[in-house]
Amino acid sequence: MSDILIRNIDTLITMDDDRRELTGVDLRLSGGVVAEIGQGLESGMAETVDARGCVVTPGLVNTHHHLYQSMTRAVPGAQDALLFGWLQKLYPIWAAMGPEEMFVSAQVGLAELALSGCTLSSDHLYLYPNGARLDDTIAAAREIGLRFHPTRGAMSIGESDGGLPPDSLVEREADILNDCIRVIDAHHDASVGAMVRVGIAPCSPFSVSRDLMRDAALLARDKGVMLHTHLAENEEDIAYSLAKFGCRPGQYAEELGWTGPDVWHAHCVKLDGAEIDLFARTRTGVAHCPCSNCRLGSGIAPVRAMRDAGVPVGLGVDGSASNDAGNLIAEARQSMLLQRVQNGADAMSPREALEIATRGGADVLGRPECGRVAVGKRADIAIWDTRGIESAGSWDPAALLLAGPSRVRDLFVEGRQVVSDGQLSTVDLGQLVEKQNRLAKRLAERT
C-alpha cells in the first residue's frame, strides 16, 4: 500500500495527549500508522489528498451496535413501544433472519457508520437464528474495511423459563461458551493495529443465568478478550434487578466479575452515585447511546457525572431498531445536547463530545493506539469538508458538532481509503441498499 499525504489541512483536531489543534498542516500515513505531521511535507512517492477547507479528526469509534437490526428499522408496532414491549414485537421477526440477512445488514450498518466518520466499530450479536454466525458479520466488516470488534452475544433464558425471548432464539449455555471459544480462536487478534478483536457479551443480566455471566467472565480473562453487556438501561431494568437478584445492577456486575478495564457496559442510564464510583475505581467502561435512550424513553445517562468521576465513556449508536439511524457524528451531537438538557448549556462542549466519540471510545475498547492522531498511532482518519452549507457562516469550523457536515468527505482505516469524495470506495452502496430492501421485504412477508 502506498503512502498517503493529506495536505493543507485547515484544522487538525488531534485528540492527542495535549488535545492539540493544528492549522495549515500535512499528515503522512504510512504502513497503517500516522508517520509524520507537519507543514510542507515532501510528497515523494505518496498519493496526495488535498484537505484545503477541511477539518481532520481521528476516525470516530462506535462502542455499541446490533448491526443485524439495520434490517428492521422503523417497524410498525415497535415504533412507539417501551423497551420490553419493543423486544417482544421484534423477536419473532429477528427469529426469521439467517446468515444472508446478518451479512447484508451488517454491511449496511457499517457502511452508514463509515460515511458518518466511524473507523472502528464494535458489534453485539446475541441471536443466531437459522445458522447465522458471528463470522457472517466479520466477513461483512472485512469487505467494508472498518476495524471491527464483534462480540459473541447470547441469550439462554427463553419464554418457557420465564424469560422474554422466544425459545427459538435462546441457546444452551454450554453451546454458547463453546462457540465463544471457537470464534475467539478463529478471529481474535491481540496485536497492536489488529483489524478484528472478539469479545464475549451475554445479552443482558435478564436474558442469561448468573452462572453464564460468571463463566463468561472467567472465559474472557482466560482468553484475554473483553466483556460487554447491557446494564442499567431504564427503570424496568433496575426494578428487575432488585426483584430478581436483590441488588442493583452495579453490585450484580461486581459480584460476577463484570467490572474492570476489560469490561464495558452499554447504556448505564440509571447508574447511581455508588455505581459511578465503582466504575471509576475499577476503570469499567460505558457505551453511551443517547439517541437510543431518547427513542426508547429510557432517560438521560449521567455522562457528566461519569466523566467527572473518571469513568471511561465512549459513544454508541446502538442497534438500528432503536435509533433508527446509525450516524455516529449525529450521535455525538446528540450526546452533547442531552447533557445540556440535564445540566445546562456549559455541561458539555462540542470538543468534549467529539473527544468521547473518538479517543474516549478507543480507550473503552482497549485501543489506545486508535482514536487520536499522533505519530505512531493507527492511520484511522476522517476528513470533513467545512466548505458546505452546514458550516457556512461558522466562526469556528472545528466546532463540528455545532455547525458541520454529518457525512465525511474521505475516510481512512489503517491507511486504506474507505470513503472517497463522500462515496464508499470498497462496496457498491446502491447494490447494497437494493439487496437490504429486498431482504427486509421478504422478512416482512414471512413474519
Indicate whether 136 belongs to the interface with Zn ion (CB under 5 A).
no
Shortest gap between Cβ of 47 and Zn ion (angstroms)?
38
Segment contacting Zn ion by CB under 5 A, of 211-219, 277-285, 317-325, 389-397: 317-325
Tell me whether residue 30 is exposed, middle or buried, using C-beta atoms within 10 angstroms of its C-beta: 0 to 12, 13 to 18, 19 or more: middle
User: What values do phi and psi take at 302, rounded to 5?
Assistant: -80, 60
Indicate whether 237 belongs to the interface with Zn ion (CB under 5 A).
no
Segment contacting Zn ion by CB under 5 A, of 144-152, 194-202, 299-307, 316-324: 316-324
Shortest gap between Cβ of 64 and Zn ion (angstroms)?
6
Nearer to Zn ion, 37 or 296 (CB): 296
Shortest gap between Cβ of 232 and Zn ion (angstroms)?
13
Shortest gap between Cβ of 136 and Zn ion (angstroms)?
19
Q: Are 9 and 26 in contact (CB under 8 A)?
A: yes
Q: How many residues bind Zn ion (CB under 5 A)?
A: 1
Cα 445 to its chain centre, rounded Å, is 30
Nearer to Zn ion, 133 or 228 (CB): 228
Nearer to Zn ion, 318 or 385 (CB): 318
Segment contacting Zn ion by CB under 5 A, of 139-147, 207-215, 312-320, 334-342: 312-320
Shortest gap between Cβ of 166 and Zn ion (angstroms)?
19
Indicate whether 318 belongs to the interface with Zn ion (CB under 5 A).
yes
**Cell numbers that stand for 20 in this block:** 492539540
User: What values do phi and psi take at 231, rounded to 5?
Assistant: -145, 140
Shortest gap between Cβ of 319 and Zn ion (angstroms)?
5
User: What values do phi and psi take at 98, rounded to 5?
Assistant: -145, -170
Shortest gap between Cβ of 326 and Zn ion (angstroms)?
12
Nearer to Zn ion, 156 or 322 (CB): 322
List interacting residues with Zn ion (CB under 5 A): 318
